[in-house]
Every structure is written in structure tokens, then in C-alpha cells.
């Protein structure tokens, strides 16, 4: 036993040394340049930046011109789609020309058989129209990516026009057409892949989903309106809810749509009231909307949670609550 204890005591310093981490290597010192070298490099970078921005602008201008030209008709849009698909899925994969032609013919046959050609109005929708809408939103997304904050505000009317046009065309955007438009501004789109546009599809404050009306309003329209004109927010929220309801009515079986209106519409209207309470022109009116919504939908699954939320807001705004900057609610 004494021998074992002695061995352990002898080994402890060695074990402790083995477990002690090695000191971190000092960070390499930053290189020192002469003033002349600094000025020389910065001057070259300035010239290179101008050249890069010029080339980038010219490239985007050319691409946007092609995309806009393809929006002229359903036939032009479909032709561009087939051309891009052939390039991406045949030529770039080193397929033979005959394989590329066969793939293109097969896609054309599929469009004709499934009613995806121009003017189609069946359960597969109008594919050419869907491609045109996809091109329109792709162009808007690229423009948003390149826009400065002030310029983004000017794009709101274009975005609202797009939403209105898509909602009006909802009966033709079903099946294959709906699926295409859903992914028209994503990395899986042949048009996006052909023109290598992946890096132009993301921007803070902009949705890249062509059928996500909620995202368009939540990310772009509402925040900009909150800065510029709070009084417009209630009407914009109504437009957002109505747009989604009108589109879904044309793209859902009637029983499913009725269920959607019973469950989702009250939830959207609660989101509206909460947003307007926090960011709208009148917290008082927003609280009144919350109370009315609960009264109109007492059987809704979220009604108990709504009651708790509104009770908390009322207590916070009561005369006996700690002083806040919120207007005190009276006469709800």
C-alpha cells in the first residue's frame, strides 16, 4: 500500500503537467507598410472597385433585359424557360445535343398533355403565365438586392401591383403552374441557374418567395409604412389578409377553404391587432379590435391565450399601473 501511494504521489506532478494547456501562440504582428505603399495599394483598389462595379452593372443590365424581353408573352417566357433548362440540365452536364433536344421535346409534350401551355385553364394551370409571373418577381428581387434603403421604398408600389396581379390570376395558377411560381426565385429554378443569379436573391427586408404574400407585407410593406405613414397600416393589414384569402379561395377545395377562414383568418386578424397595438396609429383602437375578435370567436383554439394577452395589456395600461408612455385606454 505504501509503495502504491508513493508511486501515485510521484506521478501527480507529471499528470498535472500533462493536463496543463500549452500557452497560446502569440498572434502574428500586423505587417507594416510605408505610407507610399499604403497610398499605392489603396489607389489600385479604388480603380479595381470601379471596374468591378462597372462590369457587374453591365452584366446585370444585360440579364435583366433578357428577362424583361421574355415577359412579353407566355410563349416567349416558356421558350426562355426551356432554353435555360436545356442549358442547365443537358449542355452543362455534357449531354449530347440529341439528348438535349429529346429532353426539351419531352418537356414540351408534358406541358401540352398537362395543360401547361399558354391559355390553359385546367387543374394544372397556365404554365406560361406562371413563368411570366416568376420572371416578374425575379426581376423585382434582383432590383431589391441592388437597391439602397431609400430606393427600396420606391419599390413598394411595384410589389403591391405584383400581388394584385397574381391574386387576380389565381384561377390560372394551380397545379404545375402553382408549383413553378412557388420556386421561380430559388436555386432550383433553371432560369436562376442558367444566369447564375443565386447571389442576387437575398436581401434584408425582402421576401424571395413569389407566393408568400405575408412575407412581402411583413418584411417590406409594413416596416416601410411604419416609418413613413402609420395611418396607412390598418388598411395595408386588411389588404394583406384579403389578398391571401382571395388567392386561397381559388386554390383550395371549398371545404378546406371554409376551414381555413374559420381557423387562420381570426389568427391573422389577431396578428393585425397586435402589430397595430405596437406600431400602429392608435393602441386604443387595436385593443378594441382584440376585444371584438375574442367576442366574435370564443370557440377558437387560441381564444384562451388571446384573453390572457389582452388582460395583460389592459392591466399594464390601467391608471394604477406604473407610468408608461402609452396612451391610457378608455371606453373600449
Give tens-digit pLDDT for 198-234. 999 999 999 999 999 999 999 999 999 999 999 999 9
Q: State whether 173 and 315 are in the same domain.
A: no
CA–CA separation, 323 and 332 (whole Å): 20
Cell of 167: 391574386
CA–CA separation, 204 and 72 (whole Å): 30
Mean pLDDT comparison of 32-36, 54-58, 85-89, 119-123, highest-scoring range = 85-89
* Total count of domains within the chain: 2
Q: State whether 266 and 147 are in the same domain.
A: no
Q: State whether 204 and 329 are in the same domain.
A: no
Q: Which of 154, 271, 150, 160 is nearest to 216 (CA)?
A: 160
Higher-confidence residue of 53 and 305: namely 305
Provide the greatest CA pair distance for the chain: 97
Average pLDDT over residues 282-301: 96
Which of 4-8, 104-108, 207-211, 308-312 has the least mean pLDDT?
4-8
Cell of 104: 426539351
Q: State whether 296 and 234 are in the same domain.
A: no
Position 307 in a domain: yes
Domain boundary, last residue among 251, 284, 300: 251
Position 145 in a domain: yes
Q: State whether 111 and 245 are in the same domain.
A: yes
Position 20 in a domain: no
Q: What is the pLDDT of residue 269?
A: 98
Domain boundary, last residue among 235, 251, 267: 251
Higher-confidence residue of 48 and 120: namely 48
Domain range for 96? 59-251
Q: State whether 209 and 147 are in the same domain.
A: yes
Q: State whether 159 and 302 are in the same domain.
A: no
Q: What is the pLDDT of residue 219?
A: 96
Position 116 in a domain: yes
CA angle 69, 205, 245 (to 5 degrees): 80
Average pLDDT over residues 278-303: 96
Q: What is the pLDDT of residue 330?
A: 45
CB neighbours of 195 closer than 8 A, spacing ≥ 6? 63, 66, 67, 84
Domain boundary, last residue among 251, 271, 303: 251
Q: Which of 274, 271, 263 is nearest to 297 (CA)?
A: 263
CA–CA separation, 227 and 219 (whole Å): 13
Q: What is the pLDDT of residue 121?
A: 44
Position 299 in a domain: yes
CA–CA separation, 174 and 166 (whole Å): 12
CA–CA separation, 235 and 163 (whole Å): 15
Residue 232 DSSP symbol: G
Amino acid at each position: 500500500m505504501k509503495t502504491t501511494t508513493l508511486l501515485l504521489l510521484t506521478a501527480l506532478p507529471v499528470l498535472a503537467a500533462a493536463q496543463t494547456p500549452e500557452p497560446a501562440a502569440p498572434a502574428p504582428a500586423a505587417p507594416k507598410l510605408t505610407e507610399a505603399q499604403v497610398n499605392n495599394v489603396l489607389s489600385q483598389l479604388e480603380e479595381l472597385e470601379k471596374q468591378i462595379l462597372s462590369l457587374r452593372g453591365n452584366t446585370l443590365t444585360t440579364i435583366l433585359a433578357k428577362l424583361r424581353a421574355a415577359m412579353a408573352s407566355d410563349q416567349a417566357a416558356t421558350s426562355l424557360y426551356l432554353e435555360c433548362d436545356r442549358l442547365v440540365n443537358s449542355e452543362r452536364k455534357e449531354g449530347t445535343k440529341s439528348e438535349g433536344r429529346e429532353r426539351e421535346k419531352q418537356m414540351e409534350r408534358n406541358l401540352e398533355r398537362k395543360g401547361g401551355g399558354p391559355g390553359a385553364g385546367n387543374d394544372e394551370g397556365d404554365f406560361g403565365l406562371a413563368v411570366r409571373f416568376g420572371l416578374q418577381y425575379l426581376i423585382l428581387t434582383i432590383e431589391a438586392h441592388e437597391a439602397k434603403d431609400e430606393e427600396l421604398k420606391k419599390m413598394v408600389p411595384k410589389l403591391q401591383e405584383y400581388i394584385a396581379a397574381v391574386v387576380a390570376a389565381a384561377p390560372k395558377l394551380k397545379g404545375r403552374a402553382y408549383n413553378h411560381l412557388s420556386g421561380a426565385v430559388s436555386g432550383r429554378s433553371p432560369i436562376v441557374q442558367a444566369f447564375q443569379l443565386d447571389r442576387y436573391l437575398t436581401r434584408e427586408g425582402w421576401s424571395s418567395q413569389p407566393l408568400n404574400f405575408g412575407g412581402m407585407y411583413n418584411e417590406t410593406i409594413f416596416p416601410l409604412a411604419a416609418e413613413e405613414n402609420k395611418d396607412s397600416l390598418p388598411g395595408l393589414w386588411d389588404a394583406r389578409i384579403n389578398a391571401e384569402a382571395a388567392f386561397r379561395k381559388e386554390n383550395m377545395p371549398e371545404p378546406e377553404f371554409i376551414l381555413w377562414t374559420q381557423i387562420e383568418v381570426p389568427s391573422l386578424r389577431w396578428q393585425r391587432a397586435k402589430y397595430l397595438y405596437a406600431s400602429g396609429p392608435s393602441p386604443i383602437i387595436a385593443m378594441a379590435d382584440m376585444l371584438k375578435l375574442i367576442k366574435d370567436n370564443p370557440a377558437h383554439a387560441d381564444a384562451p391565450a388571446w384573453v390572457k394577452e389582452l388582460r395583460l395589456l389592459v392591466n399594464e395600461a390601467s391608471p394604477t399601473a406604473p407610468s408608461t408612455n402609452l396612451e391610457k385606454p378608455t371606453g373600449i
